[in-house]
Amino acid sequence: ERVIVDVFFEHAGQFSLEHRTPERTYPLATVIVQAQPSEHSFAQEFFTLRTSSELEAERAKITAEAFRQPDKTLAIVAEMPGMEHHGGGHHPEAIEWEDTMEEMNRMSTPQNMFWKLVDPSSGAANQAIDWSFTDGDRVKVRIVNAPDSDHPMQHPIHFHGQRFLVLSRDGIGTENLAWKDTVLVPAGETVDILVEMSNPGAWMVHCHIAEHLESGMMFTYHVQERRV
């Protein structure tokens, strides 16, 4: 998932940006903070907890949306007909932190490994999905990462053109709501999101793992302008 964070550096020095998994730590970058102080210190702004009556009112409206039934549902499905449907074996963890199946991954191609986004209400998959909305709609979408598909794994699902809130994971509400455009859905998990349709046009939904996108794990949805 993409996240914007504010970082306040109190001391000079070198600070590592790392990607940590249960098994390894990957250094990504180093931030060098010089000893010379900045012209303006943002300490007061950074450490002051602020509130907004406008955002509080908006939060109250969103809370009501969280408990209604979803408008749309997406199922994440993997099919491996060319590999005997993975032999019935499943990865034991919700997130594959490391590549433990190098040989099988080398043999996987879009011709023998099918990654799908499926609309259960119509049975349509990937580019056959046809969703249309109107500017101003707030659409609750339930994303179900099917635990019984041939190879359940995590998928970062990205909605182009709009923003959304993650309302809940497996029925447990999200306390710290933040606008996003991508949500990571671990294997076997169900995520409810609330999409704010505010940008008319034709937009893509897809998995952000490149080989899954190449396999066709995407579709286009449309947002029409609201007539006055």
Share of the chain above pLDDT 90, in %: 60
What's the whole-model pTM score?
0.81
Domains of the chain (ranges; CATH) run 64-224 (2.60.40.420)
CA-to-CA distance for 208 and 213, rounded, in angstroms? 7
129-167 b/e (C-beta count within 10 Å ≥ 16 → b): bebebeeebbbbbbbbbbeebbbbbbbebbbebbebbbb
Question: Which residue spans within the chain are E strands per DSSP?
Answer: 13-20, 25-33, 72-79, 114-118, 131-134, 138-145, 155-159, 163-169, 172-173, 182-185, 190-196, 201-207, 218-224
CA-to-CA distance for 192 and 65, rounded, in angstroms? 11
Residues in contact with 99: Cβ distance below 8 Å, sequence separation at least 6, in sequence order: 105
> Please, which pLDDT band fits residue 23 given cuts at 50, 70 and 90?
confident
Do the strands 163-169 and 190-196 form a parallel or antiparallel pair, or are they unpaired?
antiparallel
3 state SS of 95: coil
pLDDT for position 95: 67
> Please, which pLDDT band fits residue 5 given cuts at 50, 70 and 90?
confident
pLDDT for position 151: 75
Indicate the average pLDDT of the chain.
87
Q: Helical H runs in 80-158? A: 102-107
Q: Which of 95-99, 168-172, 210-214 has the highest mean pLDDT?
A: 168-172
**13 in Cβ contact with 33 (< 8 Å):** yes
Mean pLDDT of the region 29-43: 93
Q: Is the predicted pLDDT of residue 89 greater than 60, yes or no? A: no
Q: Is the predicted pLDDT of residue 91 greater than 60, yes or no? A: no
pLDDT for position 189: 95
List pLDDT tens digits, range 102-121: 555 665 666 667 899 999 99
207-218 b/e (C-beta count within 10 Å ≥ 16 → b): bbeeebeebbbb
pLDDT for position 117: 97
Strand order in the sheet with 72-79: 114-118, 72-79, 138-145, 190-196, 163-169, 172-173
List pLDDT tens digits, range 118-145: 999 999 999 999 999 999 999 999 999 9
Do the strands 218-224 and 131-134 form a parallel or antiparallel pair, or are they unpaired?
parallel
26-49 b/e (C-beta count within 10 Å ≥ 16 → b): eeeeeeeeeeeeeeeeeeeeeeee
pLDDT for position 99: 59
DSSP 8-state code for residue 125: B
> Please, which pLDDT band fits residue 85 given cuts at 50, 70 and 90?
very low
Mean pLDDT of the region 143-167: 90
